[in-house]
């Protein structure tokens, strides 16, 4: 069947289902499948409709039949469960997931999506318990699901295996390796006294710093916001050192307005890669807080700040006591829930404890291969925030969106560097 024909048939089936004529919609879809058994969207619609009608027990047989035809049964399961969650049917995802027996692709994917469904229902502790089961079992399913080699399954694998519940912070939990000798930030010049100015800090390796720091600086200076910019440059090389000198000269000449620029550097070992670079902002933060003795705003370097940033800073400051702040994205994937692109760290014992918990979570996982630990920074944020809410409520966390009404997209524009970011990830 030509693409245009099945698209029209499926569109008509969707309209029938939305009009309450479900039996006709299903009949039309199965006639389409009989004509074109490889039409994956038809299988997805049929299975999803069965689930919404309370007939989830019929779906495993459909999945197995489609897998015999195409070898894409796991893809079908992923699309069904993801679609149901996106449409706001978490209870149906729970029901469907429990129809698949252990050993079936639907069982392991069901653990992951049940965890996401619990997140959607506001049950983070229940979600973490399901992600723990996913983490324990996932490697046994790599023969039937390409968790480590196919991008969309790899995202599921990393999201589900990186997060952890409070057991990760128990006294006998693996604290990971200590800091490397060259990891401590070194200041080429003394830190600026910030006064009332916010400190906006980025951590990046030499490649990212050289590519993005100038744009970040220009966007900050354009705000007219008195601030101190701090760039923590990892493994600096000649091009990055030249840019450091140029930015320092621009600040000293007044071309950046009332924006001062400071630098620190660190030397990570040869095996360090993109995940370590991404997590360095949190590992270096205690030293930065000690140097400035002022609240620290951490940012990704590959973004441009907008005119909403001063409003965010002012409203969060006016809110009062807060140890840590970040944007709750509202997403139901655990390593995407809290954005690491903008994080506030205050000067307080609670902040120091929060950073110690982050380091304890991050360090044991830095040695994992990139296809198992990318997104570790955000997985750590979710895990530590959930742990603190349950076990250390004295540590106060604030969601910027709740406090100010602003979203991430209001405060910065991500540059989405595409090819460069992929090169950073897979060729550290």
Is residue 9 very low, low, confident or very high in pLDDT (cuts 50, 70, 90)?
confident
What pLDDT score does 4 carry? 61
Residue 247: both structure tokens together: 């930015």
Q: Tokens 């897979």 correspond to what residue? A: 426
Q: Taking 50 as the threshold, does the pLDDT of residue 297 lie above it?
A: yes
Q: Average pLDDT, stretch 386-405? A: 96
CA distance 229 to 190: 14
Is residue 416 very low, low, confident or very high in pLDDT (cuts 50, 70, 90)?
low
CA distance 400 to 406: 7
The dihedrals phi and psi of 389, each to the nearest 5 degrees, come to -60, -30
Check residue 191 and report its DSSP letter. Answer: P
What pLDDT score does 154 carry? 96
pLDDT (tens digit, 9 = 90+) per residue, 342-361? 999 999 999 999 999 999 99
Closest CA to 299 of 188, 241, 290, 288: 288
CA distance 168 to 180: 22
pLDDT (tens digit, 9 = 90+) per residue, 62-91? 999 999 999 999 999 999 999 999 999 999
CA distance 377 to 278: 7
CA distance 330 to 409: 13
CA-CA-CA-CA dihedral for 154, 139, 376, 82, to nearest 10: 50
**Average pLDDT value for the chain:** 93
Residue 205: both structure tokens together: 């390796």
Where are the CATH 1.25.40 domain residues in the chain? 37-162
Where are the CATH 3.90.550.10 domain residues in the chain? 199-426
Cα angle for residues 94, 371, 140 (degrees, 5° grid):
50
Q: Taking 70 as the threshold, does the pLDDT of residue 418 lie above it?
A: no
Is residue 117 very low, low, confident or very high in pLDDT (cuts 50, 70, 90)?
very high
pLDDT (tens digit, 9 = 90+) per residue, 282-292? 999 999 999 99
Strand order in the sheet with 397-399: 259-266, 227-234, 199-205, 296-299, 338-345, 324-328, 397-399
Q: Average pLDDT, stretch 220-237? A: 96
What pLDDT score does 243 carry? 98
Q: What is the DSSP string of 204-271?
A: EEHHHHHHHHHHHHHHHHTTT--EEEEEEEES--HHHHHHHHHHHHHHHTTTTSSEEEEEEEE---TT
Q: Average pLDDT, stretch 367-382? A: 96
Q: Where on the phi/psi map is residue 124: left (φ > 0), alpha (ψ -120 to 50), or beta?
A: alpha
Length of the chain: 428
| Helix ranges restricted to H, 90-162 | 90-97, 105-120, 124-137, 151-162
3-state secondary structure 332-387: CCHHHCEEEEEEEECCCHHHHHHHHHHHHHHHHHCCCCHHHHCCHHHHHHHHHHHH
CA distances from 240 to 135, 191, 212, 233 (A): 39, 19, 11, 8
Q: Taking 50 as the threshold, does the pLDDT of residue 166 lie above it?
A: yes
Check residue 186 and report its DSSP letter. Answer: B
pLDDT (tens digit, 9 = 90+) per residue, 136-150? 999 999 999 999 999
Q: In the chain, count H helices and then E strands.
A: 19, 9
CA distance 428 to 413: 25
Q: Taking 50 as the threshold, does the pLDDT of residue 174 lie above it?
A: yes
Is the model more confident about 129 or about 36? 129
Rg over CA atoms, the chain: 24
Q: Taking 90 as the threshold, does the pLDDT of residue 321 lie above it?
A: no
CA distance 128 to 400: 23
Closest CA to 414 of 344, 340, 362, 314: 340
The fold of 37-162 is 1.25.40
The fold of 199-426 is Spore Coat Polysaccharide Biosynthesis Protein SpsA; Chain A (3.90.550)
Cα angle for residues 272, 417, 223 (degrees, 5° grid):
105
Cα angle for residues 189, 192, 197 (degrees, 5° grid):
155
CA distance 100 to 274: 36
What share of the chain has pLDDT > 90, as a percent? Answer: 84
What pLDDT score does 3 carry? 52
Is residue 12 very low, low, confident or very high in pLDDT (cuts 50, 70, 90)?
confident
Is residue 415 very low, low, confident or very high in pLDDT (cuts 50, 70, 90)?
confident
* Contact by Cβ (8 Å): 224, 213: no
Is residue 7 very low, low, confident or very high in pLDDT (cuts 50, 70, 90)?
confident
């Amino acid at each position: 069947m030509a693409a245009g024909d099945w698209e029209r048939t499926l569109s008509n089936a969707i309209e029938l289902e939305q009009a309450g004529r479900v039996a006709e919609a299903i009949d039309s879809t199965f006639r389409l499948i009989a004509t074109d058994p490889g039409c994956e969207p038809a299988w997805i619609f049929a299975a999803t409709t069965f689930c919404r009608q309370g007939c989830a027990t019929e779906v495993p047989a459909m999945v197995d039949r489609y897998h015999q035809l195409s070898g894409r049964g796991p893809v079908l399961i992923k699309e069904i469960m993801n679609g149901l969650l996106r449409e706001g049917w978490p209870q149906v995802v729970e029901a469907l997931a429990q129809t698949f027996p252990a050993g079936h692709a639907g069982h392991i994917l069901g653990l992951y999506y049940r965890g996401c469904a619990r997140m959607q229902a506001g049950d983070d502790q229940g979600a973490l318990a399901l992600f723990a089961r996913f983490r324990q079992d996932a490697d046994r399913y790599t023969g039937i699901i390409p968790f480590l080699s196919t991008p969309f399954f790899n995202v599921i694998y990393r999201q589900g295996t990186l997060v952890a519940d409070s057991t990760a912070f128990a006294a006998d939990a693996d604290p990971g390796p200590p800091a490397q000798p060259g990891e401590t930030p070194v200041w080429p010049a003394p830190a600026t006294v910030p006064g009332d100015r916010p400190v906006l800090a980025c951590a990046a390796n030499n490649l990212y710093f050289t590519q993005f720091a100038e744009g970040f600086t220009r966007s900050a200076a354009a705000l007219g916001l008195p601030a101190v910019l701090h760039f923590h440059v990892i493994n600096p090389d000649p091009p990055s050192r030249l840019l450091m000198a140029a930015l320092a000269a621009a600040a000293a000449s007044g071309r950046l307005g009332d924006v001062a620029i400071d630098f620190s550097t660190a030397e990570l070992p040869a095996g360090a890669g993109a995940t370590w670079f991404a997590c360095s902002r949190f590992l270096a933060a205690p030293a930065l807080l000690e140097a400035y003795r002022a609240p620290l705003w951490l940012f990704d370097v590959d973004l441009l700040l907008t005119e909403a940033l001063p409003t965010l800073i002012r409203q969060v400051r006016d809110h009062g006591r807060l140890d840590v702040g970040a944007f709750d994205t509202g997403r139901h994937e655990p390593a995407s829930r809290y954005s690491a692109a903008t994080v506030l760290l205050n000067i307080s014992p609670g902040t120091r404890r929060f950073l110690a918990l982050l380091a304890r979570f991050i360090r044991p996982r830095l040695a994992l291969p990139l296809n198992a630990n990318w997104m570790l920074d955000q997985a750590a944020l979710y895990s530590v925030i959930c742990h603190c809410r349950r076990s250390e409520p004295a540590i106060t966390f604030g969601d910027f969106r709740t406090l100010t009404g602003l979203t991430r997209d209001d405060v910065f524009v991500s540059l989405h560097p595409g090819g460069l970011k992929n090169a950073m990830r897979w060729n550290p």
